[in-house]
Structure 1
């Protein structure tokens, strides 16, 4: 199958809508040039599938459920099922990564079996392991990185039997992950309440960004105080709730500028701004250009 350029498509609950591969082979391979994305990042989102990443050109900052990684070229990361994560450029440098996103059924099938019950499902449900960094100087992790890279190359080549080869490589990757984290897999599973609340607040923002939204409403969506809401955003998203709201509005508006013929004023109103001049000011803050110039420059490209 051809490698896809990563283009995030979310539903109103920040869950990714992308269909991976095909129903018969639920796996997608992606190349991402982070700095070319609308706001220079991959925003907070989650999906049912597992994701494995290898950095082709770093450093790259990846945030996963409250943990920040600064990964260098050649390093990797496993992101568990339904885990909140985002990706950022670092110091405005080119950031390139290859990733595979795949459903657990690719490895353990849809039926109940020992692979699913003893290994795959316990890892998918393990709140103690939202992510696992992979560093080439550690032998088993270097082998895990090689599994990802060779699976990615096979996906790109589409040579006869590549589906079997990819499944085999990812199965070996999971063998390494569960082998070296047996203790964590046996711990009682305790849901991270902070992340659960953060998901609720992000959901609220993405469902209501086009309306007049106040920080008290964002906090109320998770049944917490304004102060706790602000602390939660600063800890996990590294910005205030209102800053995140503004950035999300700008991200949506950038898409509308390129995909529709709507006027600047119409787009301004659609994404929740009352004043075109204020919208332009905030757009320049995040995008370093005006909405009009952004539309012209990008369309010319």
Structure 2
């Protein structure tokens, strides 16, 4: 099942429920270019995520780091980490995405010693999974098997998923990671989420740098440093980009018009909206709307 439009709550937490009918596990193929935004937008979720790129290559951003993942390799993204993905070099990237509740990975008795320390570590936002490493190949093979289990739903497939997931986790944690718990990093993560949360709620209104900084309990300069470090963009440019993202959904509604959409997403000038939209999407809002109506 391809998720083409990521719905997030006021904290940018993804609202998609990642589970089969019985298990708190989901596995599906994602074609990045088919997402409504043309990329997988910034979001986070409580579930841990494993990615296996089966075609092309992608650039994943996890918190402030960027990582290219090529065909055949994969990525572990930890619980609660902000992440997004873009196709690299228009490669038509397709990847299998496996999401699982951390509490389901192992039994309750084993969660505290073997899962919680890794979920809570501040130095483990992601791990590159190299198919040339035995442990990496084991994880990637197991992702394929879980995907197959969910697609085929053979007898007792839930038990098979459980076994493969346990094997995935064992291969990950037995690599000897030295875990760190930096309170400063925890606070930084929380503050960036607070600022993004505020933007999500108020993007359609007049937004100032002071407003965003206040939401993160930071000075204006510190606020700018946070955005530059994590998102590689200024706070107000992020607001502009977010407004453009929100306009994409509205423009695909048959009854909408460009001027209405511009004001709904926070622009007070149609001409400025068209200018920013063209810069972001390489076409005008009207051309985008016509393109989507013809699909």
Smaller-chain TM-score bracket: over 0.9
Aligned to 1:177: 172
Aligned to 1:190: 183
Runs of at least 5 residues in structure 1 that lack an aligned partner in the other structure: none
Out of 138-147 and 268-277, give the one that drifted further.
138-147
TM-score between the two structures when normalised by the length of structure 1: 0.91
Report SS of the residue matched to 1:183.
coil
The 5-angstrom pairing of residues 113-128 of structure 1 reads 113-128=108-123
Is the CA contact (8 Å cut-off) linking 1:6 and 1:31 kept in structure 2?
Answer: no
Deviation at 1:25, TM superposition (A): 1.2
Report SS of the residue matched to 1:87.
strand
Deviation at 1:164, TM superposition (A): 1.4
Is the CA contact (8 Å cut-off) linking 1:201 and 1:222 kept in structure 2?
Answer: yes
Report SS of the residue matched to 1:164.
helix
Runs of at least 5 residues in structure 2 that lack an aligned partner in the other structure: none
Separation of aligned partners in 2, 1:70 and 1:183: 23
Deviation at 1:23, TM superposition (A): 6.2
Deviations 1:140-197 (A, max 9, x none): 111111111221122222222222111111110111112223532xx44535133222
Aligned to 1:251: 245
Is the CA contact (8 Å cut-off) linking 1:55 and 1:72 kept in structure 2?
Answer: yes
Q: CA RMSD in A?
A: 1.9
Is the CA contact (8 Å cut-off) linking 1:65 and 1:83 kept in structure 2?
Answer: yes
Deviations 1:51-91 (A, max 9, x none): 11011223211111222111111111111111111112223
Deviation at 1:224, TM superposition (A): 1.7
Separation of aligned partners in 1, 2:156 and 2:2: 20
Deviations 1:258-300 (A, max 9, x none): 1462322221111000011111111111112222221221121
Tell me which of 62, 73, 80 is aligned to 1:82.
80
Tell me which of 31, 34, 44 is aligned to 2:32.
34
Out of 251-260 and 199-208, give the one that drifted further.
251-260
Out of 276-285 and 219-228, give the one that drifted further.
219-228
The 5-angstrom pairing of residues 43-62 of structure 1 reads 43-62=41-60
